Amino acid sequence: MPRVTFRGRTYKSEFAMPEGVRQAYRDEQARINSAKSLTDIVDMPQDVKAIYERAVDHLEEKLELSQPRKDLPRTEDIYRQSAPDNMKHLPSDESVYHASPPVIDPTSSNIEPEPGLNPGRLVSSVVWAAVLAAILFLLMQFLG
């Protein structure tokens, strides 16, 4: 990552800044970047720049002309308009959907946590392994 100089101090990266300084740096960067157009930041050919500016102007016009959300048709209305005649009387998927209750209570778990490394169990396992090894050794001595 490139070094960042902010308010007279140089940091290895944005993430090396203390939290308060980092937030101030991000706020200032957001303010600077919001004031600039993409054409100010990115070097692009004139024909591409013209296409971009027309698209941005067209988008801003569209946003001004778009309907408020409350005036948009509901899914049920769109379904009624687009459904075949023999299915218009049927309810849409959205109107019959109801969230199912959870199968289990998500606040409490039925699964017990797995025990960690139990020193008592470890010691007893080592002792048992030693006893079995001793018995096998003795058997080999007497039978061999």
Q: How do the domains of the chain map onto residue ranges?
A: 1-35, 43-91
Q: Model confidence over 38-86: pLDDT tens digits? A: 776 778 888 888 887 777 776 656 655 566 667 777 777 777 788 888 8
User: What b/e readout covers 129-144, taking b as 16+ CB neighbours within 10 angstroms?
Assistant: eeeeeeeeeeeeeeee
SS3 124: helix
Instruction: Check: pTM over 0.75? Answer yes or no.
Output: no
Q: Which amino acid, residue 46?
A: Q
Calculate the alpha carbon distances from 40 to 46, 49, 109 in Å: 12, 10, 55
The tokens for 37 are: 């157009």
Cα atoms found within 13 Å of the Cα of residue 109, Cβ hemisphere only: 4
* β-sheet bridge partners, residue 4: 11
What pLDDT, on the 0 to 100 scale, is given for residue 106? Answer: 65
Distance (Å, rounded) from C-alpha 52 to C-alpha 141?
91
What pLDDT, on the 0 to 100 scale, is given for residue 80? Answer: 76
User: Is residue 114 predicted with pLDDT exceeding 60?
Assistant: yes
Q: What is the pLDDT confidence band of residue 94, given thresholds at 50, 70 and 90?
A: low
